[in-house]
Structure 1
């Protein structure tokens, strides 16, 4: 049976933006946890130029049911014209941890 959990990746230009987006997602119960990894180096093509920047990576733990709302929130509040928003299925995990994700996403 496929998992209903996802890990969503999103890069941000700086730690302040990353923290703002992480707090937004967790406070709205769209994500159980968002890890912020600072200081990643990104090399990519944009408008026919090769860019090289330092960014922060958000690792967003959530359910598949929340993907659309997370995508909308990130796109609305993100400073990039075209933010990276990529979802990966969580194939397996410690059952107690996955239960914790579910409990964090539930309305109380």
Structure 2
């Protein structure tokens, strides 16, 4: 049984499919992520610099481990086109043994 606490989900958003694909390819090729899924387009509503904004974005769901998280966060921040990107990590409390083992193997 894998240690499910070692697996995490990272969420980020970008403005284009090209940025999403570039980031996903990089994180996978560096073994920092086991899987990156892209949703979208989605509509985001937020306040920035005192003004309510609306943007079309693509959401990245990045599966990795807590051990890979620090390097992934650093690399994602450097590669991200936004001045202040959304980079959020959520611990995975439970999941199927096979999938969690696969995530761990792909990022080791």
- The TM-score bracket by the shorter chain reads over 0.9
Shift of 1:68: 1.1
Give the match's secondary structure for 1:68: helix
- 2:80 corresponds in structure 1 to 78
- 2:55 corresponds in structure 1 to 53
RMSD between aligned alpha carbons? Answer: 1.1
* Runs of 4+, deviation exceeding 2 Å: none
Q: Is the 8 A contact 2:4 2:94 kept in 1?
A: no
- 1:65 corresponds in structure 2 to 67
Q: Extract unaligned runs of 5+ from structure 1.
A: none
- 1:21 corresponds in structure 2 to 23
Calculate the TM-score normalised by the size of structure 2: 0.94
